[in-house]
Amino acid sequence: MPAVFQVSPFVTAPQARRGRSSCDLVSFGRGHRNKCSPGLQTYTCTFNIRNSGESATCASEHRESATAEEVGEAYRRDGFAFGPRVIPVDLLTRVNAGCDEVLSGIYDTGISPTEIGFTGDPTQLRKIDNPHFSNRSIAELVTSPELAQFLAKALGTSFIQAWMVQLLHKPPAPLDETSPVGNTAVGWHQDRHYWVPWWTPESEVLTAWIALSDVEEDSGPLCFFKGTQELGYLPEGADFFGAASDEQLEKMRLHVSTEDAHLLEAPVAGVLPAGAFSLHHRLIVHGSKSNVSRKPRRSIAIHFITEKAMPESGSGGSNDLINLQIMKGMLEDKSGCPLMFGSEKDAGYAL
């Protein structure tokens, strides 16, 4: 996703699933249908998006009992995977309080994060870059050992370092049924599209996306097109600020063989309880529809590298170059790019 570095030094509730099985489809909109397979906790559903004339279909594959080995295997095969609730409930509570503060412009470190495009409209998507600069609980989440150890085991890696963190907050739909739902969709994209100036093409750079609220079928869950990481880089269609529309997919399909076109047909949704996470590849096509539920959808995405990542040498435009230099500095002194697992001597860029 698009990211901006800011020249600044880094200073240093329970939302457990409320007894709902993941098969209880929220009664929302018209004409929904839900097929459950409770043992596997997988299901598909279709629901209408209020006042938009659109509908969305999703299937979810989250399993609370997934082991690190299973998550790693699914990630390597599908380009994404769903992990269990690894974030301790007390940390989750503090992080949510920290996010409330950051979203209201209160920073316990005294450092502001970066936010682009917010007009003050309360129905709008909020995307805040590097909120861990601004709030100590969010910084603690980024380096939480429970998450880092799980990721290291899943990926079989000796080194993990966060290089960019994003808070995404989708406000709830208005209570008044006649008011339009805000556009909080995140358009289809491959993260690589935004990372070309930063990382060499083969670098192992990926994302752990942590649900801070329960993410349900109608919350605008993050959706992935399985196997699309194998399609390589798709030069058209990506737009984080798009509407996750079919038009975007059409543009992407222009660069996909007829044989592989089916990969861009049915996304899998990350329907997750608060505290669980998904993991995704830099080339997986993903995005999300608007939140049409009555509750906010909130997440922290940690974009991280393993020992198999090398920053670019810097051939972009001047802004890219400045940002790259800032990022390199932060990677080396760990300010803003915290080490999550292993030791700095294992960093690919240190060799």
Ligand X SMILES: O=C(O)CCC(=O)C(=O)O
For ligand X, the binding residues (CB under 6 A) are 1, 168, 186, 191, 207, 209, 222, 286, 288, 299, 301
* Token digits of residue 128: 């805040």
Q: Which is nearer to ligand X, 87 or 222 (CB)?
A: 222
State the nearest-atom distance from the C-beta of 288 to ligand X, in Å.
3
State the nearest-atom distance from the C-beta of 286 to ligand X, in Å.
6
State the nearest-atom distance from the C-beta of 110 to ligand X, in Å.
27
Q: Which is nearer to ligand X, 286 or 295 (CB)?
A: 286
E-strand spans in 222-296?
A: 222-224, 268-269, 277-280, 286-288
* Token digits of residue 236: 């058209």
* 206-221 core/surface letters (b: 16 or more CB in 10 A; e: else): bbbbbbbbbbbbbbbb
Q: Which is nearer to ligand X, 60 or 109 (CB)?
A: 60
* Token digits of residue 60: 């979810």
Q: Which is nearer to ligand X, 222 or 234 (CB)?
A: 222
State the nearest-atom distance from the C-beta of 318 to ligand X, in Å.
26
| Collapsed DSSP state (helix, strand, coil) of residue 100 | helix
Q: How far apart are the first and last CA of the chain?
A: 28
E-strand spans in the chain?
A: 33-37, 42-49, 54-60, 80-83, 114-115, 126-129, 160-170, 186-189, 205-211, 222-224, 268-269, 277-280, 286-288, 297-305, 339-341
| Collapsed DSSP state (helix, strand, coil) of residue 151 | helix
State the nearest-atom distance from the C-beta of 229 to ligand X, in Å.
13
Q: Which is nearer to ligand X, 109 or 187 (CB)?
A: 187
Q: Which is nearer to ligand X, 81 or 301 (CB)?
A: 301
Q: Which is nearer to ligand X, 109 or 189 (CB)?
A: 189
State the nearest-atom distance from the C-beta of 272 to ligand X, in Å.
11
Helices assigned H by DSSP within 181-262: 192-195, 246-253
State the nearest-atom distance from the C-beta of 185 to ligand X, in Å.
8
Contact between residue 88 and residue 146 where contact means Cβ atoms under 8 Å apart: yes
Q: What is the DSSP letter of 120?
A: S
Contact between residue 57 and residue 218 where contact means Cβ atoms under 8 Å apart: no
Contact between residue 169 and residue 295 where contact means Cβ atoms under 8 Å apart: no
The contacts of residue 7 (CB under 8 Å, 6+ apart) are 326
State the nearest-atom distance from the C-beta of 240 to ligand X, in Å.
6
Q: Which is nearer to ligand X, 186 or 331 (CB)?
A: 186
